[in-house]
A and B are shown apart, each in its own frame.
Chain A
Amino acid sequence: MTLHSFRSKGASRVRSLMAGALMASTALVGASAAWAETTITAVMHSGLRVLDPVITTAHITRNHAYMIYDVLVALDSEFKPQPQMADWTVSDDGKVYTFTLRDGLKFHDGAAVTAADAEASLKRWAQKDSGGQLIMDRTESLTATDDKTLVWTLTEPFAPLLDTIAKQSALPPFIMPARVAATPADTAITEHVGSGPFKFVEAEFQPGVSVTYVKNEDYVPRDEPADNMAGGKVVHVDKVVWATMPDASTSINALLGNEIDYIESVQVDLLPLLEGDPDVVFEKREPLGYQTIGRMNFKHPPFDNVKVRQAAMMALDQEAVLAALIGNPEYYSTCGAIFGCGTPLADATGSDSLTSGGDIEAAKALLEEAGYDGTPIVLMAPTDVVTLAAQPVVAAQSLRNAGFNVDMQPMDWQTLVTRRASQNAPADGGWNIFFTNWLVPEISSPLISPMLNGRGDGAWFGWPEDARIEELKEAFIDAGTPEEQLAVAKDIQAHNMEQVLYIPLGQYVSPQARRANITDMIPAPVPVFWNVKKE
């Protein structure tokens, strides 16, 4: 007899007796049952604390924003921009984009969504988003000409404009009321009114513990079927509650016990606990998942020397890193493409050693050629984040094998994010190398990948000064066709692997788990709750 059948056959009567004895009233039991019929209780990957999707790139905040806000343009499953709140036309010279809002758009306070709201929201977003900043560099004006029409006039064409405002991660331009979007971009908003398919229930919000959304009855979905982040956002449940469970085993047990409906991200090593229960389904939500990466500090020796950076990359073995990180090969794959395998710009030039076990001998030769003098490499190793703990340990050993003198320093993630902002020498509170993970859509284009910024002190941590990468990004903006864009992307891939702006260490997915009666979930990088049914 399996554990599950024992539980389901033998325990229900006892449980009823216990519950009956303990519950104060039967009315309460009835109320709970009615409430449960149209409520999805979901355990997300982390607790929601920051509510402003412009001030932070945190995924949980972005997910929250997709619940309560809407976007002008959204990507379908083919990575093509599709109309969401607005249709558009582009002038023949590619310099004027005219967006027209569709009918029936209303904020949760009842006010109609106007082009002025979209204008204010896009302007605030563009102050924070790297892609938005690039568009603004070529913007002559962004103006609402009437309640429904927004005209974006450029000084010169920006071919990936629609892709940039349609992107689903870090940062999508969500549309807020103009009065909210008037908040300075570095100050968090305090009013949370969107026009999306769910409404945020502020009175029930407990930061880091739970957040409640109710169906927006006034929302008018598009007619097209839901497809990735595009299409009609039809809501079939009354309420969605995100509960935070800090203990992974507790959430697994709660799912098995039918106390919750959904877990966004299950640790792969806990999946066997779910096997054999016919009422629980676990699956990959979408195939792209995450890319794990290593980043070096260009400001200090020895990684200010390109040959030493090349030696470090040559020493690393994606398979070893991923096996330690995830374990089950079903949920990871080696991938040398800096834009992520499975994306339109994927190209694996220059990644042979990474994906074929590393080349220690070549790494040793490069180190010798570079004249490496044994300077210690300060490798920051976070110990409190499950998905970031394995990479530093494996990488440290590979680097040692190649002849590096590695000083691996364990610390919590908070200490790491503070320390990586320090430009001091590694021996004086600085650093040489660290590791992190990105959702593949966040690095799938040169315009959004933070590591492909070559503006020195203005660049992402590590601060490479690389005029060539900036030139290549300009060329990408100017590329008019997907074929031209792919050609430039290949050049960027080759340049990255030569200069080692960063080291791609492979892709992995975090499976999701749900009760079998939760159906029609959309396979998208963002877990969304429109289209979902609870049967």
Chain B
Amino acid sequence: MLGYIIRRILAIFPVMLIVAIFVFLLLRLTPGDPAAIIAGDMATPEQLERIREAMGLNQPIHTQFITWMGRLLQGDLGTSLISGTPVTTMVGQRIFPTINLALLTIAIAVAIAVPMGVLAAWRHRSWVDYAVMSFSVLGFSVPVFVIGYIFILVFSIVLGWLPVQGYAAPADGFGEFLYRAILPALTLATIYIALIARMTRASMLEVLGEDYIRTARAKGVKESRVLFRHALRNAAVPILTVIGTGFALLISGVVVTESVFNIPGIGRLTVDAILARDYPVIQAMILITSATYVVVNLIIDISYTVFDPRIRY
């Protein structure tokens, strides 16, 4: 097991190297010029060229790549071409709102979706099942920004219970954090509730038909114990996969929700960087996103062994 984990962690490095090379080349092939963003509309071509030179953008691509890679190996993600701020500082400012929002979203989604899915499977083809499935289809189908605007209209504009926008760090008070994050988290959670509830239901339906469930019931085991100890545990693997990849998706940036609720997260940072062709920031964000996926997948794989002892690495 330990050997497996070490091998998986070591595998991160070649993956990241391939991503780094790919991203670097892709960005240089994309039209766009950060010097033009800095110089503004009035700059003449000569002035633009001088700024490019000062920024090192007119050096050969391989020279730029070696410089960037050399810094990266020392843990230096570089400096924003636009603002001159170190990329690590920018990521540090923006990643915690995203992580906190993702954790809250997943917590809400799991707390609501798993019981919903279990209930729907338990009462298969009843009105409960149909209600859960209907909600699931709705949750998938309605765009997240529409849900966000509806929540803002109802809870902020009409009822006035919650703020329209903004973010407060948990360090400033967990109550204030919840007060500001609950609407965006609920908005994002809608789609994950739909996804996880559907996966839980499907997985549970498969398991509930197994012999050991019939045996447990025949032995007179309480139904709640049958559902949550015997069935859910065996149905957990696909559910965990959905939760894990959902979390990675949330970390990699939820730009629409961040924009609608004005949350300074990494989704907006990434999109702003792409629009401005701020290469070091884009490169850093893609590397961080890739690393997140690799790590989350590793955690999911390890967690399988907790829920299903038959799985061994």
Binding site for B on A (CB under 8 A): 3, 6-7, 10-12, 14-15, 18-19, 21-25, 28, 47, 49-51, 55-58, 61, 128, 130, 170, 184, 186-188, 190, 205-210, 243, 245-247, 249-250, 253-254, 256-257, 259, 384, 411-415, 417-419, 421, 436, 438, 442, 450, 453, 457-461
Check if A51 sits within 8 Å of B83, measured CB to CB: yes
Within the complex, the shortest CB–CB distance from A40 to chain B, in Å, comes to: 16
Check if A250 sits within 8 Å of B54, measured CB to CB: no
Check if B175 sits within 8 Å of A55, measured CB to CB: no
Within the complex, the shortest CB–CB distance from A527 to chain B, in Å, comes to: 18
Task: Apart from A208-B269, A256-B164, A414-B33, list 14 A-B contacts with CB within 8 A.
Answer: A10-B160, A11-B158, A11-B160, A11-B161, A22-B176, A24-B174, A50-B83, A57-B39, A186-B54, A245-B165, A250-B260, A414-B31, A414-B36, A419-B31
Q: Residues of A contacting B178 with CB < 8 Å?
A: 22
Within the complex, the shortest CB–CB distance from A318 to chain B, in Å, comes to: 21
Check if A246 sits within 8 Å of B268, measured CB to CB: yes
Check if A210 sits within 8 Å of B264, measured CB to CB: yes
Subset of 6 A-B contacts with CB under 8 Å: A28-B173, A55-B51, A209-B268, A247-B262, A253-B157, A415-B32
Within 8 A of A (CB), among B113-167: 149, 152, 156-166
Closest to B166 in A: A259
Give Cα A253–Cα B166 distance, bound, in whole angstroms. 12
Our count of residue pairs bridging A and B at CB distance below 8 angstroms stands at 178
Q: Is the interface of B mostly helix, strand, loop or mixed?
A: helix
Check if A206 sits within 8 Å of B264, measured CB to CB: yes
Q: Residues of A contacting B31 with CB < 8 Å?
A: 411, 414-415, 418-419
Within the complex, the shortest CB–CB distance from A253 to chain B, in Å, comes to: 4
Q: Can you list the 9 inter-chain pairs with the closest CB atoms, starting with the nearest?
A: A11-B160, A57-B40, A207-B83, A24-B173, A24-B175, A417-B36, A57-B42, A22-B179, A253-B164
Check if A414 sits within 8 Å of B161, measured CB to CB: no
Within the complex, the shortest CB–CB distance from A247 to chain B, in Å, comes to: 5
Q: Residues of A contacting B162 with CB < 8 Å?
A: 18
What's the interface size class on B, roughly? 35 or more
Closest to A414 in B: B32
Check if A243 sits within 8 Å of B159, measured CB to CB: no
Judge whether B277 is part of the interface by a CB distance below 8 angstroms: yes
Give Cα A12–Cα B160 distance, bound, in whole angstroms. 7
Check if A23 sits within 8 Å of B173, measured CB to CB: yes
Within the complex, the shortest CB–CB distance from B279 to chain A, in Å, comes to: 12
Give Cα A3–Cα B152 distance, bound, in whole angstroms. 13
Closest to A185 in B: B50
Q: Residues of B contacting A438 with CB < 8 Å?
A: 41
Highest count of chain B CB atoms <10 Å: which of A19, A21, A414, A438: A414
User: In the complex where A209-B264, A210-B264 touch, is A457 in contact with B158 (Cβ < 8 A)?
Assistant: no
Check if B53 sits within 8 Å of A186, measured CB to CB: yes
Give Cα A453–Cα B43 distance, bound, in whole angstroms. 12
> Which of A47, A208, A259, A412 contacts B165 (CB under 8 A)?
A259
Closest to A411 in B: B31
Check if B176 sits within 8 Å of A23, measured CB to CB: yes
Within the complex, the shortest CB–CB distance from A450 to chain B, in Å, comes to: 5
Check if A414 sits within 8 Å of B277, measured CB to CB: yes
Check if A459 sits within 8 Å of B160, measured CB to CB: no
Closest to A253 in B: B164
Q: Residues of A contacting B163 with CB < 8 Å?
A: 257, 259
